[in-house]
Structure 1
Amino acid sequence: MTTSKKAVVILSGGLDSTTCMGLAREAGYDLYPITFDYGQRQKREIENARKVTEFYGVSDRHKVISLGFLKEFGGSALTDESIEVPAAGETGLEGSEIPVTYVPGRNLLFLSIATSYAEVKGAEAIYIGVNALDYSGYPDCRPEFIRKVEEVMALATRVGVEGGPIRIETPLIDWTKAEIVRQGNRIGVPYHLTTSCYNGQEEACGECDSCRLRLKGFEEAGSTDPIPYREA
């Protein structure tokens, strides 16, 4: 499918970003997916992202960008092997503290690089699957963060200065996980090709915060999660 509208999709291979991919396609955009290898434990998600791009017929446009220095920096349970990924009940999922799974500067870097790619490709939008409800502890998932980055993008790019700024689309930002699953199912998002587990094993652990939120979302949506989970 080729259209006059183009969108860069920040695609992790997880549930949220893959839903964004489907929503961007539904909105009539020609898709330009970009995935980041930042030294995350969950290396499987990069392969999952590739499968998603194949599903949508845009694997030839898929960019995988290395940001390995984030692993060298550490400071997050997702990139630093010395920090354990919290299991159920070990982190304040509903609390106010920033979780140890927060990766310092990750979304800021992702959006900066996606902006460069979007300007080169003539894309008018960047889709990112940030969610302020389920991940309220992450400072770079808040609406105010997105608004400020969008302002900087308008100032820092040629298209912005010339009056055609690139938009950041965050369709999931106010949705519950159940709403995300329902909308994804409605448009046929290939959830069987995705992964959400922080631990990066062949089967999802079912215990980390990301697995718990995902399972809760499918349950509340009245749907069955199609990916395999490790038996307790």
Structure 2
Amino acid sequence: MKKSVVLFSGGVESTCVLYLKLLEGQVVYPVYIKCGMPWERLEYVKATELWQETKGRFSKLMPIKVLSLKTYHKKHEAIKTEEELFIPLRNLTLLTAVAGYALSKRAESIGIGSLGLYPFPDNNLAYLKEVERLITEGSKQRLKVEVPLFGIEKGEVVKRFSKWVPLHQTFSCVNPILRNGKVLHCGRCIKCKEREEAFKEAQTPL
């Protein structure tokens, strides 16, 4: 039986990758990585809620594994453009961090939800394939890095997956709000605007 590890934040892309693997009949180990960002505490609450919803449908979904990393990042208040979302070596750091866990579970692959739309130096297929090669060479075990949504616009992802993935429950926000015990999108940050635009393009209600 195939096994995959999926980098899972509860956002649109990572949730779609999670469902792709589950619908293929694979055993899936979701990993949430904490990098010290201010929004992670509330984001993880929403990711857990979505995991619980999904677990009710798929018995092969394993518990969320939380890995903690401290990486360089700008103050979240300053993040207003796509360029300011850039974190040096982010994909390399995330993939190498999760590789050991994936190997311990005898997983065949690591799935990530990158669309490849941001022009960052570590956000292209050639770079990710090189990371895959280094992981395999360093561990002497074959471990694929899979990017099934690469090259697809976010609005198109929403359009393709909204019928069978609960995308309305996904969450991605730089300044999440806790109100009356519920975690809400701020509706103003770059992540919220990007998400809203994608749903609008797909003509899918939030």
TM range (shorter): 0.7 to 0.9
What is the 5 A alignment of 1:31-50?
31-43=28-40, 44-50=42-48
Who is 1:199 aligned against? 175
Identity %: 31
Deviation of residue 113 (structure 1)?
1.9
Residue correspondence of structure 1 range 123-134 to structure 2 within 5 A:
123-133=107-117
Q: What's the RMSD between the two structures over aligned residues?
A: 1.9
1:220 aligns with 2:201: yes
One of 171, 190, 200 as aligned partner of 1:209: 190
Within 5 Å, give how 1:167-178 maps onto structure 2.
Answer: 167-178=144-155
Which AA in structure 2 matches 1:62?
A: I
Secondary structure of the equivalent of 1:139?
A: coil
CA deviation after TM superposition for structure 1 residue 60, in Å: 5.2
Task: For 2:154, give the aligned amino acid.
Answer: K
Structure 2 segments unaligned to the other structure (5+ residues): 179-183
Please say if residues 39 and 176 of structure 2, whose CA atoms lie closer than 8 Å, have aligned partners that are also in contact.
yes
> TM-score w.r.t. structure 2 length?
0.86
Normalized against structure 1, the TM-score is what? 0.77
Question: Residue by residue, what CA displacement relative to the aligned partner does 1:176-195 show, whole Å, maximum 9, x if unpaired?
Answer: 11111122213x22223321
Give yes or no for the alignment of 1:11 onto 2:8: yes
* Matched AA of 1:220: E
Give the equivalent residue in structure 2 for 1:147: 129
Render the CA deviation track for 1:32-55: whole Å, top value 9, x for unaligned: 001011111212211122222222
| Aligned counterparts of 1:26 and 1:181: Cα–Cα separation in 2 | 17
| Displacement of 1:224 | 1.0
- The residue type equivalent to 1:13 in the other structure is G
Which residue matches 1:162?
Answer: none
Q: Distance in 2 between matches of 1:182 and 1:42?
A: 27
Paired positions, count: 196
Q: Whole-Å Cα distance in 2 between the matches of residues 208 and 138 of structure 1?
A: 20
Higher strand share: 2
Equivalent pair of 1:9/1:33 in contact (CA under 8 Å): yes
Distance in structure 2 (CA, Å) of the matches to 1:76 and 1:224: 32
Asked whether the equivalents of residues 77 and 101 of structure 1 are also in contact (C-alpha less than 8 Å), the reply is: no
Displacement of 1:115 after TM fit?
A: 1.2
1:1-232 to structure 2, matched below 5 A, reads 4-43=1-40, 44-57=42-55, 61-67=63-69, 69-70=70-71, 73=72, 75-78=73-76, 84-86=78-80, 91=81, 93=82, 99-133=83-117, 136-159=118-141, 165-186=142-163, 188-202=164-178, 203-225=184-206
Instruction: Give distance in 1, aligned partners of 2:199 and 2:12.
Output: 11
CA distance in 1 between partners of 2:112 and 2:62 (Å): 20
Structure 2 counterpart of 1:37, one-letter code:
K
User: What is the rounded CA distance, in whole Å, between the counterparts of 1:166 and 1:9 in structure 2?
Assistant: 13
- Contact 1:19/1:189 (CA < 8 Å) preserved in 2? yes
CA displacement 1:109-158 (0-9 Å, x = unmatched): 1111221111111110111011112xx23333222221111111121113
User: Matches of 1:55 and 1:139 in 2, distance apart?
Assistant: 35
How far off is 1:59 after superposition? 6.9
